[in-house]
Amino acid sequence: MMRRTTISAALAIIAALGILGSAFAADYPAKPVQMLIPFGAGGSADSMGRMIAKTAEKHLGQNIVAVNKPGAGGGIMLTALHEAKPDGYTIGWGSTGILTATNIGNVPFKHDVFTHVARVGFSGMPIAVRADAPWNSFEEFVAYAKENPNKIKIGNAGTGSATHLTPIFIEKELGLQFIHVPLGAKRRVPSLLGGEVEAICVPLPEVAGQVQAGKAKVLVIPSAERDPGFPDVPTMKDFGYDVVIELFRGISVPKGTPDAIVAKIEEAFKKGAQDPEFIEFAKKNSFNISFMGMDEFNNYVEPMDTKIAMVMEETGLKKN
């Protein structure tokens, strides 16, 4: 008798939980949503993330709370996102870092443990040199590099990061050899201005101010199209090279998040990206808004992942 009561009570609880679960999706969002940011406060990933959270939450109907989870090249945040319940209350503000951190083996899983919900936009990843550098164009830079292999030092944000892979892509495609200096995000621009390295690969927002002030110049931006803020700077495609790498930013969630919830998140960020406040902010910070919904975003991520994996394999960086 006792046992039967226990069993029926247990069944009742399970049934109740089931109902609750389905009610969950319909009621979503019933409480504030956490948005994990893979870097510390203050950088462009952080400020951009906080701004889109602010404009998207108007359309989601709940607060979106930005939580910084820095460390391990984004690995800490990716692990937290991977381990989070797939209920839509934990979402991740990801970037190209999702592809680099998973391939280099900072985390023991691939990017496909996430559903990539929406790409908000991207920034170019130019090769920048000092304003007084002897090269006035990418061609001159390449000609010098060809004659002087292992001479030009290019700074990046860290080994295996997107800013490291971009110069590697260029090296491979053009048969050049650079010295890669993992300066870290903090010291990239000071090192360039101080003359420690000849060039850096850096997300456009971080160097745009220096370019406008005449302290640095960008030689090439390997995006798919010319950057609207720098229409005179060529892309790699302009020279006939198949090198396209962009620092995209978008929302990813743990796989298994119900479709209805994913759709709500996608919609909220789509509208958030169209908010005049976000548009204004993005324009000032060299971030190109170019929204992609779930399907388009996944089609965009997949080939980029393959390419990154390939280059990492060739250079011995790939460990996952």
Partner 1 sequence: MDIALAALFDVLQIENILASMAGVFFGLFIGATPGLTISLGMVLLLPLTFALSPVTAFCLLLGLYSSGFTGGSISAILLNIPGTPSAAATAIDGHAMAKNGRAGEAIGTAVTASFFGGMFSLVCLVLIAPTIAKFALRFGAPELCALVLLGLTLICSFGQKSIIKGLISGVIGLIFMTVGLDPMVGTPRFTFGQVQLQAGISFLPALIGLFAIPQVVNGIIAGVRVIPTYHGKVAGVLPKLSNLVKLAKSMLLGACIGTGVGAIPGAGGPIAVFLSYDYISRVSKNKGEFGKGTPEGVAAPESANNGVAGGAMIPMLTLGIPGDPITAILLGALMIQGLTPGPLLFENNGQFVYSVFWAFLVANVLTLILTFATIKLWVRIHQVPSRILLPIITILCIVGSYSLRNTFFDTGVMLFFGVIGYLMNKFRFPIVPLLLAIILGPALEEHLRMSLIISQGSYAIFFTHPISLTFLVIALFSFTLPLVGPLIRKKSAEEDQDIIKKTV
Q: Considering only residues 18, 32, 61, 209, which one is a binding residue for partner 1 as defined by CB under 8 A?
A: 209
- Site track 215-234 with partner 1 (rule: CB under 8 A), x = hit: x-------------------
Q: Which is nearer to partner 1, 183 or 265 (CB)?
A: 183
Maximum distance among all Cα pairs of the chain, rounded to whole angstroms: 90
Check if the beta carbon of residue 115 is closer than 8 Å to that of residue 253: yes
Q: Which of residues 43-62 bind partner 1 (CB under 8 A)?
A: 43-44, 46-47, 50-51, 54
Q: Considering only residues 25, 62, 144, 153, which one is a binding residue for partner 1 as defined by CB under 8 A?
A: 153
Q: Which of residues 18-47 bind partner 1 (CB under 8 A)?
A: 40-44, 46-47
Check if the beta carbon of residue 205 is closer than 8 Å to that of residue 95: no
- The identity of residue 238, as a single letter, is D
Q: Of the candidates 91, 112, 118, 122, which has an alpha carbon nearest to the alpha carbon of residue 292?
A: 118
Q: Considering only residues 136, 212, 274, 306, which one is a binding residue for partner 1 as defined by CB under 8 A?
A: 212
Which one of 9-17, 25-33, 192-200, 240-248 is the stretch in contact with partner 1 (CB under 8 A)?
192-200
Which one of 89-97, 112-120, 153-161, 298-306 is the stretch in contact with partner 1 (CB under 8 A)?
153-161
Q: How far is the CB of 207 from partner 1 (least distance, A)?
A: 9
Q: Does 186 bind partner 1 (CB under 8 A)?
A: yes
* Residues forming the site for partner 1 (CB under 8 A): 40-44, 46-47, 50-51, 54, 66-73, 75-76, 79-80, 104, 106-108, 153, 158-160, 179-184, 186-187, 189-191, 193-197, 208-210, 212-213, 215, 280-281, 284-285, 317
